[in-house]
């Protein structure tokens, strides 16, 4: 028995999220990948993902693992799986890991990026990959507000309903907002944390965009965070601009 860790990238536009849906034919990343593994390994098995991205959310560095008795060489998995996967899902890396490795529970941090197209007119080619906000945004104010979200805090104000986690306390290690020099008008929100609540990233971005539009002040964000009340925060930004960029593990894993 081997435990194989894969690193994936995918365009989530045509999928109903990462997690396979029971009793439905809706396409998911997990369903497509498990089908490809069954074809290559001749085993029907379940994969474990580092997290569940929602419908329309993309990934550059999603991590999964699965146990297999297959004799396919580890280094052959990317090419073999990519030969049968849809073109909008790619396996980038494969590695044999200890049998007790768990893609979700062993993760120590995740990095997400959210892209906003802040030009008056957007490109048709960005409609599924960035959120278009046509009005000017005050990036400086958004940066000052984002600084308030860094640290170990209770992020209940940025958690959507539908999650059964026991605590809404998380640690955000960094929250950067950058304006792309290569593509004028693209604003990148980058957050690295030890974990994320349901829709936490999209809710934080939606709230900061309200700051950028002048609807919230920086001080309002401090009050929203302290209140631990989702109703006070901004709207949930749409999924198209969100990317799971990286999942980190202890060096021993």
Three-state DSSP state, 19 = coil
Distance CA(110)–CA(129), nearest Å, equals: 20
Residues 6+ apart with CB under 8 A from 79: none
Assess contact for 90 and 82: CB atoms under 8 A.
Answer: yes
Assess contact for 67 and 13: CB atoms under 8 A.
Answer: no
Assess contact for 129 and 58: CB atoms under 8 A.
Answer: yes
Report how far apart, in Å, the C-alpha atoms of 120 and of each of 33, 97, 137, 210 are. Answer: 38, 48, 11, 17
- How many CB atoms are located within 10 Å of the residue 171 CB? 14
Distance CA(207)–CA(159), nearest Å, equals: 12
**194 annotated active-site:** no
Three-state DSSP state, 76 = helix
Beta bridge partners of 176: 190
- How many CB atoms are located within 10 Å of the residue 139 CB? 17
Instruction: Please measure the distance between the N-terminal and C-terminal CA atoms of the chain and give it in whole angstroms.
Output: 18
Assess contact for 111 and 192: CB atoms under 8 A.
Answer: yes
93 — phi, psi (to 5°)? Answer: -145, 155
At 246, list the tokens: 């990286």
Among candidate residues 11, 22, 54, 138, the one labeled active-site is 54
* Catalytic machinery residues: 54
């Amino acid at each position: 028995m081997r435990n194989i860790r894969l690193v994936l990238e995918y365009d989530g536009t045509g999928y109903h999220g990462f997690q396979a849906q029971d009793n439905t034919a809706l396409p998911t990343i997990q369903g497509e990948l498990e089908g490809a593994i069954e074809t290559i390994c001749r085993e029907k098995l379940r994969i474990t993902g580092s997290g569940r991205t929602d419908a329309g959310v993309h990934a550059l560095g999603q991590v999964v693992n699965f146990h297999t008795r297959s004799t396919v060489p580890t280094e052959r998995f990317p090419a073999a799986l990519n030969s049968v996967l849809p073109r909008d899902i790619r396996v980038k890396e494969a590695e044999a890991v200890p049998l007790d490795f768990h893609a979700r529970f062993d993760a120590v941090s995740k990095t997400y990026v959210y892209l906003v197209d802040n030009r008056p007119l957007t490109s048709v080619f960005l409609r599924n990959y960035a959120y278009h906000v046509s009005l000017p945004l005050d990036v400086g104010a958004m940066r000052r507000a984002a600084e308030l979200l860094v640290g170990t805090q209770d992020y209940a104000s940025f958690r959507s309903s539908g999650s059964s986690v026991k605590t809404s306390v998380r640690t955000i290690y960094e929250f950067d907002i950058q304006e792309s020099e290569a593509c004028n008008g693209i604003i990148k929100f980058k957050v690295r944390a030890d974990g994320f609540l349901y829709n936490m990233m999209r809710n934080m971005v939606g709230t900061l965009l309200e700051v950028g539009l002048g609807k919230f002040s920086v001080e309002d964000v401090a009050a929203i965070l302290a209140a631990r009340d989702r109703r006070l925060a901004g709207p949930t930004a749409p999924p198209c601009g969100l990317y799971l960029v990286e999942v980190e593990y202890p060096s021993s894993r």
